[in-house]
A and B are shown apart, each in its own frame.
Chain A
Amino acid sequence: QKEVEQDPGPLSVPEGAIVSLNCTYSNSAFQYFMWYRQYSRKGPELLMYTYSSGNKEDGRFTAQVDKSSKYISLFIRDSQPSDSATYLCAMSENSGYSTLTFGKGTMLLVSP
């Protein structure tokens, strides 16, 4: 079993839809969870950062962590064509730890 699993997609939705992106992981020591957004031909950029379990909201984006299920989600409300990108989850065991384990990314396509 790979350490972090993420469906590659593509996930195609119409503008305005609620999008759910997910990752599962096997390492119970992960405590810090991140979502990165990567536009085509660009470097990934940090979108959301959460510690341990619970929810975090930032505008149209909500990150959710369920450590008991080893499952994290990113929800995008009122999706826009500009949200079309690849979304990568990432996680680490502690805040000072140098190793960050990335998922392979889910491609999201939002059509007008």
Chain B
Amino acid sequence: DADVTQTPRNRITKTGKRIMLECSQTKGHDRMYWYRQDPGLGLRLIYYSFDVKDINKGEISDGYSVSRQAQAKFSLSLESAIPNQTALYFCATSDHRTSGTSGYRYFGPGTRLTVL
């Protein structure tokens, strides 16, 4: 979905390197999320942010950090990448301010990360 963009789309890196994945959205949504998707494990929440000053850990935050630089930008960092962080990473947004829709997630196209 062009409203949520992720960069890079593919990345191969080595163990121990610092990696940043970036997400931008033009939907005007207040909430942003980072998920990872692994075969057989489904989508798992890493971090989420209600607004620029409110960041929360998800179920698998260890080894990751995030920064909400602006309403529209949410980045995910792997401080020291390890092979088991090889996965497909998705950014998503939701709109809490519109009644009944905060359960929706609008996903970006994903970043395929490989850690060697």
Contact = CB atoms under 8 A, between A and B. Distances in A.
Interface in A62-112: 88, 90, 92, 95-100, 102-105
A41 interface: yes
B107 A45 contact: yes
Interface stretch (B14-22, B43-51, B60-68, B73-81): B43-51
B1 A43 contact: yes
Interface string A2-21: 00000010000000000000
Interface of A: 8, 32, 34, 36, 41-46, 49, 51, 88, 90, 92, 95-100, 102-105
B110 A98 contact: no
Interface in B95-110: 96, 99-110
Nearest to B49: A98
Which are the 9 A-B pairs with shortest beta-carbon distances?
A: A43-B107, A104-B42, A102-B43, A32-B103, A92-B103, A95-B100, A44-B107, A43-B109, A46-B104
A104 B41 contact: yes
A46 B105 contact: yes
B99 A95 contact: yes
A34 B53 CA distance: 29
B29 interface: no
A44 B88 CA distance: 12
Contacts of B99: 95
A43 B90 contact: yes
A100 B101 CA distance: 12
A43 B108 contact: yes
A34 B104 contact: yes
A46 B41 CA distance: 20
A95 B107 contact: no
Contacts of B40: 8, 104
A49 B90 CA distance: 21
